[in-house]
């Protein structure tokens, strides 16, 4: 595994930066695959109505991001660890017990409120 900027033992959501010329929804599909091993297609993603502005603590310092979030309604495959991540399934009631980055907690709450 390569060296990661991520803080150890902190949970988040699949996320990443856009590649040159890449559309947001294509990046969401790519990041889901890279970070979890799961695959999906555009028709299974619902864009949340909010663009999030947030900061995340990294090993290299505080980083600021704008985040567009998508709710994945259907996927295939099995969880597979990536270069920087080790994905896990978590039941919603158990989220309160995790060391979860705040923006992930907010995005999950907003997705649940959309009742999709």
- pLDDT digit string (tens) for 56-106? 777 788 888 889 999 999 999 999 987 778 899 999 999 989 998 888 999
Q: E strands of 1-116, at which residues?
A: 45-58, 61-72
Give the SS3 label for residue 100.
Answer: strand
pLDDT grade for 47, boundaries at 50, 70 and 90: very high
Confidence at residue 6, expressed as pLDDT on a 0 to 100 scale:
60
Block residue for tokens 């980055």: 101
């Amino acid at each position: 595994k390569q060296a990661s900027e991520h803080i150890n033992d902190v949970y988040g959501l699949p996320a990443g930066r856009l590649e040159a010329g890449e559309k947001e929804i294509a990046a969401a599909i790519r990041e889901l695959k890279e970070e979890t091993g799961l695959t999906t297609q555009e028709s299974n993603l619902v864009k949340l109505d909010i663009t999030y502005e947030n900061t995340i603590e990294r090993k290299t310092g505080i980083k600021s991001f704008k985040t567009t979030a998508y709710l994945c309604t259907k996927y295939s495959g099995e969880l597979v660890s990536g270069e920087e991540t080790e994905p896990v399934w978590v039941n919603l009631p158990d989220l309160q017990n995790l060391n979860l980055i705040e923006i992930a907690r907010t995005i999950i709450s907003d997705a649940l409120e959309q009742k999709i």
